[in-house]
Structure 1
Amino acid sequence: MEDFDVRTSVLILLFTLSLGICHADLNQNSGLLCSAADNSTSESSFRVNLDNLLGLLTEKRPSSNGFFKTTVGKRSGKIYGLIQCRGDVSADNCANCTREAFAVALRDCSKSKNVQVWFTWCSLHYSGEHFFGVWDQDSAAIFNKTNFENASIVSRGFDFMSEVATMAPKRPLMFHTAVLDAGKFGKRYGMAQCTRDISRRDCSRCLDTQLMTFRSSIENNRGWEVYGSSCSMWYHDYQFYSNISITANDGESRSPSIIILC
């Protein structure tokens, strides 16, 4: 049974944690947040600006290490948009995730001006209001109630993720992965990432706040994910990330970014 815990905002969450022997890191729709319906979204100028925003975010993202923000339009018709892909996915999968996120936004939030969509591999945010550089505390945790952690690993796992949260803001892309060797209990894999429009200080505050906010819900689970407007965290007992950066050191993208472990 899947469950979710929301402390700072109400989000629509769709997520399934695999319990099988074979694990795959698949790009699933993990959450959606739509503002109240706004009749101005039906105006042709807004639709044109939104289409232009989609084009820019999809085109520019690979050359920006999976992160790009821009503004389209003027005055009241201005739209601020941001896309960020998870730091280990390829440029092609990042582009595909961007298109999928926009498809969901246009389908499920067609009358909203402030929209956020979370997929496993990317997050999309666009709004008629300026939000760049502002730490947003909206977050939601998703986990499986029946997939409990071994009691002797619970505190070690939480301390491990606290270390991951400490390291992420210090990394060039505010993205960090790590492995915890739990001996006879196997390994645990952690990842943390902040949107690159916020400061490193706010990145640290964002990740720490997520851990403290959801601790009672997630710390005894073998797998959980927290998605937020400004930062996100992942913790699993299998290697879900691909260790493939969006842009390699030589500037060439690498693919694929789907990991299947049996």
Structure 2
Amino acid sequence: MVMVSSRLLFFLFLIFVLVYQATTQPSFIYYFCSDNTGKYTSKSKYKANLDHVLASISSNTGTDNGFGTDSHGQEPDKAYGIGLCRGDVKADVCRSCLNDSRTVLTQLCPNQMEAIGWYDNCSLRFSNRSMFGVVESAPNSFMWNPRNVSDVKGYGVVLKNLLSGMISDAASGVSLKFATRTSVAPDKSKLYVLAQCTPDLSEQDCRDCLNLIYAQIPLFGLGQAGGRAYTPNCNFRFETYPFFDLTSVATPSPPSQPVSPESPPPIKGRIILIYPISMKP
């Protein structure tokens, strides 16, 4: 009888631990599970390969640039993964964020062979196809702060000038394609802006990716006190409060005249999009 009670208590304890872990994991800002590349089973070769890749990325992406890629297995069961941490976060924070991503993304997308999830500090992506060095525009998400600003036009000019000036800074990076800037808006509020690409992109591909976001600012960011844009290869965020390490702020001032990078026409429709967007006009 004592043995039965002990087993029961142990079983209940395991349930408690699993429930606690599930409820304490932070939620993604946005995530996407793809049904286009197939599904896998819990005992498949792909599942074993995927577990290997995600464990490798979440434990080893404490590299200097917070970026890690890995692949494992043989086709057609080969798994690929990409982990990216925000350029200013420390190695231990990076590893913790990717470890959370690994747990949550595989819970939210338990059978899909391809998925992606974004946190403030990192993003994680996996697939059964190679993604390394390939610029893609979908899935993507554009979000905004519901608070409006007083000088919509002036605020928009400053915001677009900041991003247009940061595109070259981020794209020209080698091991880290990351740029931050601060500026004072016309209403005297302080603007904090960040742009980043995955380091596996070429300089031109990073430019194309950020130019896509640049073209969407009138849709998701004009007149708002904050906004975010996420694609698989690049991201952009602005706020009226500091959200990154201020020691990472670039010293050059933004250009006095608006820069007009080559970019596609504005997107029409929903703010959160899951279909490809043309990177070229």
Query: Residue 259 of structure 1 corresponds to which residue in structure 2?
Result: none
Query: Residue 30 of structure 1 corresponds to which residue in structure 2?
Result: 29
Residues 149, 192 of structure 1: alpha-carbon distance in 2 compared, 3 angstrom cutoff: farther
Shift of 1:176: 0.4
Q: Determine the C-alpha separation between the residues in 2 that align with 1:202 and 1:209.
A: 11
Q: Determine the C-alpha separation between the residues in 1 that align with 2:34 and 2:197.
A: 23
Query: Residue 158 of structure 2 corresponds to which residue in structure 1?
Result: 156
Contact 1:66 1:87 in 2 (8 A): yes
User: Which residue type is aligned with residue 167 of structure 2?
Assistant: A
Structure 1 runs, 4 residues or longer, greater than 4 Å off:
none
Query: Residue 234 of structure 1 corresponds to which residue in structure 2?
Result: 237
TM-score using structure 2 length = 0.72
Shift of 1:207: 0.2
1:169 has 2:171 as partner = yes
1:1-262 alignment runs, 5 A limit = 29-36=28-35, 38-138=38-138, 139-148=140-149, 150-151=151-152, 152-172=154-174, 173-182=176-185, 185-243=188-246
Give the percent of matched residue pairs that are identical in Structure 1 and Structure 2.
28
Deviates more, 1:39-48 or 1:119-128: 39-48
Residues 189, 60 of structure 1: alpha-carbon distance in 2 compared, 3 angstrom cutoff: same
TM-score using structure 1 length = 0.77
User: Which residue type is aligned with residue 198 of structure 2?
Assistant: T
* Structure with higher RCO (Cα < 8 A, 6+ apart): 1
Residues 88, 67 of structure 1: alpha-carbon distance in 2 compared, 3 angstrom cutoff: same
Question: Partner of 1:147: helix, strand, or coil?
Answer: coil
Contact 2:40 2:112 in 1 (8 A): no
Question: Partner of 2:237: helix, strand, or coil?
Answer: strand
Contact 1:168 1:192 in 2 (8 A): yes
Q: State the number of aligned residues.
A: 219
Q: Determine the C-alpha separation between the residues in 2 that align with 1:98 and 1:220.
A: 33
In structure 2, the gaps of 5 or more residues are 1-25, 249-281
Q: Determine the C-alpha separation between the residues in 2 that align with 1:57 and 1:97.
A: 11
Give the RMSD, CA atoms, in angstroms: 2.0
In structure 1, the gaps of 5 or more residues are 1-26, 246-262
Larger radius of gyration: 2
